[in-house]
Structure 1
Amino acid sequence: MVGIGGRSKACDNCRRRRVKCDQTRPECHKCLRLRLTCGGYPDLTVIQFDGRRAGKPSQPDPVSADEAALIPFNSTSSHESLSLFTAGDEFLLNSEVQLHPEHIFISFTRSRLLQGPDSTNITGVLPRIVDRNLVQKSFLALATTYFGMEHKEKSLVQRGMQQYGHTLEDVHNALSDPSRRTSFDLLQSITIMGFFEFLVSENEHGWINHCLGLERLINLRGPASFTNGPELIVLENARPAIACAALLLHRSTVFSKSEWKTMPWILYPERKNCMQSLIDILVDCPELFVMRDRIIAMSVSDDQASSYRELFRKTTDLLNQLDQWILTWNQLNPDCYHETVPSNTTPVFTSSEGRQTPAWTTTIEYDTSIHANNLTLYNATFILVLKFTYQTALSTDSGLTDQLQVSELYTKMLAAALMVCRSVDYHLRLMRSGASSFFLWFSLRMAYDALGRSNPVIGAWIRNVLQEVHNGNVGRWAIARYLLDIPPPGNEATSQAESQQNAGSPVLWLEGDKWADS
């Protein structure tokens, strides 16, 4: 039988991992052999939407088999192997719904936006009695707005924004109610609304505010409350964004405490994988800026010199942890990527004679998106710690500049930034298929700070990539508009020291100090 063009017949897991599937039913042998959750096979889904406003529905009838077939979901599930949670799955699977535009918006959002390993469902984990009122409202606001944006339906965008505003009021009411403050419904709804801010909102403060509120709520619940599967998945998804908000605000995060790195995984130790170990390092990074701010506020004294030595011991420890992480990763994942010829979008340097040379001669292709996300986040975190160490060493009289071998740090930083840039084409292809892209945003910003600010060709290329994303040509994320406008870490003294250190270098350093309280 001739298949449908552009539609994979692979099982859910093989399709997400982008590997060949043997298509054995009910579960493929490849997944069974690797002890993975197969996820089943997709059914044909055809949904049409003519853009007309739906009339007020009468009393809904039970969903017919034909109507239910139009709402795609995986019929298989596993309680033993949990994956990342998608709110839309629970909405569809645990609600008796009548097919109308709202359900089309939800299905469209799941199929176009919530794809990839960051969006695998955990069908059947939550019992039906769990209150999902806020989750349903927040996800419907997201889905309605996203559908309207993709189809250029301004009325739908406005409706989604209104739904978002009403849900925000409901969330505030729940936060003031002690009986609801620690509910899973509230926890997950705030997570979805933070996702809304990344995707839709042009307000660059929105996602930071949501991250701060989510962190306070998580801390209120305590680490022991996240040992169950659904709560653990929310925690895993929340940690990177909350760490980035803490970096911007120069404040420590609760996740740097040892109990938050161990207790939530006590029932699911297999989920403490390379990615989670890497995030354990990332959540310690905000403390570097807290320590440096505290030292700068001191009067010049022996205590200040001693504090700088302690700060550099902290940065050295983080760099050693990153070195150990990449060593372990390479042992577990040998040959997880290969180099290929650069695309026609690769930035080009033009000499005074008019000769053109590509900024890099090869791009990176990963075996799976899991490999891509791990290595991209590693390079971004590596840049962050190296840059902090480099800047701080140059701007102080600690006497540790030679000891820290700052020129070597500088070279390593540039190499990590180039790895991020060479991986962008792969990530953009994932985004076109609906995969989430948080790790790309953080990594692109780090690469821009390390390389793009002082190299006009690469800087213009990164800005163009983000413009394509903001315009909807590659995915559609509002954060792409203002990602490069957030002030980077560094201070005036640091910038002057770096300019002197790198005089004549093709790549200069940063301006400004803090990632301000935006």
Structure 2
Amino acid sequence: MVGELRPSAPDSRVRKAPNRQSRSCKVCRIRKVKCDRVKPCHACCAHGYPSKCVYENIPDEEARPITQAEEIRNLRAEIRELRTKVDERRDGSGDQELERLDQLEGLFESIRSAPSSVVDQLVREIRSAHGGVKRSLVKVGPWEGHEAYEGYDYTGGSRRSVIPIRRSTRDSSWEVNFNDPLQNEDDENGELEERMSLSSGSESGSSGTISVMSMQRPAVDIFVERFVDAFSPEVDIKSGRAGALRAAAEIRMFSPLISDAFEAVSVAFFGRSVQNKEIEASGFRLYPRVLRGLQDALIDPERSKSEATLVTVTLLLAFESVERTTHSGVPAHVRGAVRLIEHRGPENHMYGVEHLLFTELRPYWIGGAMATRQPSFLAREEWKTIPWSAGTTTKDILHHLLDLAAEVPALLAQSDQFQEAQESSVMGAQEMTVKQAALWNGITDLTGRFYQWHRDWVECYPDGPPQEAEQKGDQGFPIFRRRDLRTGAVYAATKLIYPNLLLAQTMCVYYAVRLILSSIDTRPVDRVSLLEKYELGCGICRTYEFYILTAPGNMINRLAFPTRVAWEAFPDGGPERAFMAEVLSLVERRHSLGLWGGNMSELSTHKDSPLNSDP
């Protein structure tokens, strides 16, 4: 009978499904697209957000996603195993292993340098095979912009990675190194020069002779490791976080743009650090391609907000700190990074690499905002809270200071507007009085909050406040000599010793921001005195020895902006600037940082500074 219920025949459509966790990543579930269960998955990589690929509550081992790092480790292990077999079988019986080895080496070279469409195809092949690529690989390049890194090993006939490498000998001369197999996994953390074996010499005798390295471990990987160790050293929390570029390097294989940027920067940095112009020039040759790729990404509405774009802009800033190609290079990239961060919005800086790049480099972004002398979006409440709302990191003493520093640009703009009104006489006397009172009130309020921050965070610092000690010129470090402003006498000041690097950096930022604010302080009472300004500048100089001799890698770049501010606080021709010139020269020599090769005028906060003007 129509409509009659049949209890004995349950409807399969209402059968309850077993309770199990979805195996798609969070982003794919939200976007309702197919997920390949690799971490980061192809969909997240394709959209430029690999660090946002998150799998929640995976219940069992079978459901656990495969990580990209696991895939790469497996391929590297297979390469090592095959290389060992080939070396053991020199009688021709290892042809199959040799063919497989060539395939895998070609795969690595293609992923490193191929266009994104080719890389996507290769990644799909790896994932679909679940154990390696079984069919013929796409042949390796030459791709546009990579010709300098590829070639043939005419002794063996197979394609290898080609890049000029040199090592310093005992007599400080440079000799060419060839054919480093890099077979021993234990060598991964060793020095590159010690792993290179000397050849019998170049028949041509040309200074441009190149060396040929096995693709078991691409030469560019070694350069990237050197760069990451220098610019993103592994430090404890009390030294200040420095893992942003290290985290970015881990995802570079999934973005051709990031890969090219890391290659250009790391090769140029390595060449500069070993004083080899050929290697340094190799990085320069790839630099225009990175700029073109970045420009293409910036004009694309979706790609402009991707983490790959933010990483690349940051890497180009690092490149300019190394090479200092022009005086406008660093300011241009700082301005570009700040505009990109605003375009992305605070919600896009809550997780992963994007969060680390925003928070770790926040002193640079706020320093750039102060140099523009215009109100900054970084002073808005959402930019002080939302990036930390997910608990990825927590605010420390430095970030609480930066919350106040972000308000300085608006006061600088207010002061500039008031001075222009005074010079042009466009305002009446009453209106000018109101404007001046508003400016003075703002300076009074912010100065009071700086003093309160110092009482709450520095005087009560858990590891203790800074201590004074005698300068001894340790490790050839210059002696800072200062003036007695009352008598005019010049004497060696005491140096400042800090419990950790984080407090040392924070205090230098504090001194610098106070100096910038004091430059517009014209209050009739409670104004920052000339003596206090001088002490703020001396505080930065007295911190140099501790920070520069203690900081690992190139974390000393974090003092670049305070250094320029202190330089402007001292008179020309005095002992203070003479000391700073010695420090700048020392840093450039020891750390291969072109930015420190002068007085860093491009970081000035004056009205006519490079940071305050668009090219």
- Please confirm whether the aligned pair reaches a TM-score higher than 0.5, indicating the same fold: yes
Partner of residue 543 from structure 2, selected from 423, 426, 429: 423
CA contact (8 A) 1:265 1:271 kept: yes
Structure whose alpha-carbon radius of gyration is higher: 2
Task: Name the amino acid aligned to 1:264.
Answer: P
Q: Kindly tell me: are residues 227 and 270 of structure 1, through their superposed partners in 2, closer, same or farther at Cα, counting changes over 3 Å?
A: closer
What does 1:63-142 align with in structure 2 at a 5 Å threshold?
66-72=183-189, 98-115=216-233, 116=235, 117-120=240-243, 131-142=254-265
Q: Report the alpha carbon displacement of residue 323 of structure 1 after superposing the two structures with TM.
A: 1.1
Cα RMSD of the aligned pairs, angstroms, is: 3.5
1:150 corresponds to: 273
2:454 corresponds to: 326
Partner of residue 439 from structure 1, selected from 558, 563, 572: 558
Q: Distance in 2 between matches of 1:378 and 1:268?
A: 25
Q: Distance in 2 between matches of 1:460 and 1:359?
A: 13
Q: Report the alpha carbon displacement of residue 154 of structure 1 after superposing the two structures with TM.
A: 0.6
Task: Name the amino acid aligned to 1:226.
Answer: H
Q: Distance in 2 between matches of 1:107 and 1:212?
A: 28
Partner of residue 601 from structure 2, selected from 456, 480, 485: 485
Partner of residue 358 from structure 1, selected from 491, 498, 504: 491
- The alignment covers a number of residue pairs equal to 404
Task: Name the amino acid aligned to 1:197.
Answer: E
Q: Kindly tell me: are residues 467 and 186 of structure 1, through their superposed partners in 2, closer, same or farther at Cα, counting changes over 3 Å?
A: same
Q: Report the alpha carbon displacement of residue 182 of structure 1 after superposing the two structures with TM.
A: 1.1
Provide Cα deviations, 1:179-212, integer angstroms capped at 9, x if missing partner. Answer: 3121111111111111211222231211211122
Q: Report the alpha carbon displacement of residue 337 of structure 1 after superposing the two structures with TM.
A: 3.2
Q: Report the alpha carbon displacement of residue 55 of structure 1 after superposing the two structures with TM.
A: 5.0
Provide Cα deviations, 1:32-60, integer angstroms capped at 9, x if missing partner. Answer: xxxxxxxxxxxxxxxxxxxx998547468
Provide Cα deviations, 1:300-337, integer angstroms capped at 9, x if missing partner. Answer: 42212211111111112221221121112121335243
Partner of residue 358 from structure 2, selected from 223, 229, 235: 235
Q: Which runs of 5+ in 2 are unaligned?
A: 1-147, 162-180, 191-214
Provide Cα deviations, 1:131-164, integer angstroms capped at 9, x if missing partner. Answer: 4322221111111011101111111111111112
Matched, 1:203 2:326: yes
Q: Distance in 2 between matches of 1:158 and 1:124?
A: 26
Partner of residue 472 from structure 2, selected from 343, 360, 368: 343
* TM-score, structure 1 normalization: 0.70
What does 1:195-344 align with in structure 2 at a 5 Å threshold?
195-268=318-391, 271-298=394-421, 299-301=426-428, 302-329=430-457, 330-344=459-473
CA contact (8 A) 1:441 1:483 kept: no
Q: Report the alpha carbon displacement of residue 245 of structure 1 after superposing the two structures with TM.
A: 2.3
After TM superposition, the structure 1 stretch with the greater mean CA deviation from structure 2, 362-371 or 262-271, is: 262-271
CA contact (8 A) 1:147 1:156 kept: yes
Q: Distance in 1 between matches of 2:567 and 2:329?
A: 22
Q: Report the alpha carbon displacement of residue 296 of structure 1 after superposing the two structures with TM.
A: 2.5
* TM-score, structure 2 normalization: 0.59
1:192 corresponds to: 315
Q: Which runs of 5+ in 1 are unaligned?
A: 1-51, 74-96, 394-399, 492-511
Structure 1 segments of 4 or more deviating over 6 A? 121-130, 512-515
Using CA pairs under 8 Å that are at least 6 residues apart, name the structure with larger relative contact order, 1 or 2: 1
CA contact (8 A) 1:487 1:513 kept: yes
Give 3-state SS (helix, strand or coil) of 2:216's partner: coil
Q: Distance in 1 between matches of 2:355 and 2:611?
A: 29
Q: Kindly tell me: are residues 249 and 138 of structure 1, through their superposed partners in 2, closer, same or farther at Cα, counting changes over 3 Å?
A: same
Task: Name the amino acid aligned to 1:340.
Answer: A
Q: Kindly tell me: are residues 205 and 469 of structure 1, through their superposed partners in 2, closer, same or farther at Cα, counting changes over 3 Å?
A: same
Q: Kindly tell me: are residues 515 and 224 of structure 1, through their superposed partners in 2, closer, same or farther at Cα, counting changes over 3 Å?
A: closer
**Percent identity for Structure 1 against Structure 2:** 19
Q: Distance in 2 between matches of 1:513 and 1:216?
A: 18
CA contact (8 A) 1:281 1:318 kept: yes
